[in-house]
Structure 1
């Protein structure tokens, strides 16, 4: 049985992955902030990347696959991922790196595909690119780069934030000229399970197969949640449509693992 270590398994994406994979693999996870559940579950391991070296944990566990869903200080993340790369080169294991559509946020005229050149204007996007570039120098069998757009879901932080803002009577910031795709957490976990099972290699874009304007999407979410006439604050950062979307071209998944905008809305707002 393959041994999997999920970095950031106490977070939204990491914990959903842990729940998806734990019945099929010897699945372990890391947490930073102790709770009774994490500290008493022997599959979870405390790790603070700002004060600890990940190689100690890796040498003790010897995972076959490391999934990085960790968040936090960018410099600490970069150091941690470079240590992971050193480890997987010595042990012939694999790193699955959860990246972001923001690695393309300097390109605004069209959607981005798996092997398009990356270029970002944001600190967040440039940090992701630095780790991606290090992975792209590895043998194909030793990495996956998985780029995600905004991830929603019934209990997702984004849905909770929308509810909180509306409950407070504050306006929701929306971007009428930004064209996006999105995804939903349960579909993401199924897609990653498939990638692991089939030992797929390379770069994957796990967004919805269709596009929409960000404002239209948020309006649909609000309607699905049952909010009538929420306040919106339109933010225009361009006179033209600006794309921030990741679509697959070279590494497509089976049809049953694809998702549409309407399915994201339905899954994120169902009672």
Structure 2
């Protein structure tokens, strides 16, 4: 089976590629940074505005599965996803896995959200993700898999590198004591997508911890585990408890792939050693 990862040079994209290369024929695209885990003849430079390049790549690779971990201009991404979905339409068993975000619920923060909840966003980013979800579902129906993720952490992840820099320099970190979120890692995302492909699952999946933790407490605990200086927080108080959490509710995913906030913290302490 041939798999094409759009945005394979992204943090999540690289982890997904590493998880799949020993099981499938994996190809990937990048913008400026190449993907070290893939053979040079299986990576292609691609710019969002160059629609001819994505068409050439699709014709060359002829993937049965496309995984989208793209970033960049929202309108250009919509156009590129349209091309990818149209390419898959006549392919029997063709599937597109789209990595979405917890921001699709950022206008409905009174509770955590499960896969069946109606999306509702007040941000440009969240509304863009909703548009992409709807576009792909309308075109591909059950052959579209939506993967919604919260904040990603992992070895040398951008968030950990920034936390280390901010604590070292005593830079105030914006935090929200009443803001509860759930978390994921690059490895968990890769494991779930590998399982979804193996079992040929469809629909919407929330990949993250099954519980939540307020952002300030998580940053404190993470700093201790990583042996960083104690963060200097700039608190934004809220009168009411609020959530931006995409809780996994799909029963098809086995227990060994589920994670708690404690699991994530323990994992991060181990991989950063």
TM-score band w.r.t. shorter chain: over 0.9
Residues 1:241 and 2:273 aligned together: no
* Correspondence list, 1:87-102, <5 A: 87-92=87-92, 93-102=94-103
Residue deviations 1:18-51 (CA, integer Å, cap 9, x gap): 1111011000000111559599711111111122
Match of 1:262 in 2: 262
Contact 1:88 1:142 in 2 (8 A): no
CA distance in 2, matches of 1:252, 1:259: 15
- Helix, strand or coil at the partner of 1:262: helix
- Helix, strand or coil at the partner of 1:114: coil
Residue deviations 1:84-122 (CA, integer Å, cap 9, x gap): 111111223110000000000000111111121111000
Unaligned stretches of 5+ residues in structure 2: none
Unaligned stretches of 5+ residues in structure 1: none
Change over 3 Å in CA distance of 1:262–1:36 after alignment to 2: closer
* Correspondence list, 1:48-197, <5 A: 48-53=47-52, 54-92=54-92, 93-197=94-198
C-alpha displacement of 1:249: 2.5
- The total of aligned residue pairs comes to 269
CA distance in 1, matches of 2:35, 2:257: 35
TM-score using structure 2 length: 0.93
CA distance in 1, matches of 2:5, 2:233: 37
* Deviates further, 37-46 or 196-205: 37-46
Match of 2:15 in 1: 16
CA distance in 1, matches of 2:254, 2:269: 25
Contact 2:97 2:144 in 1 (8 A): yes
CA RMSD between the two structures:
1.8
TM-score using structure 1 length: 0.94
* Deviates further, 27-36 or 197-206: 27-36
- Helix, strand or coil at the partner of 1:144: strand
- Helix, strand or coil at the partner of 2:121: coil
Match of 1:210 in 2: 211
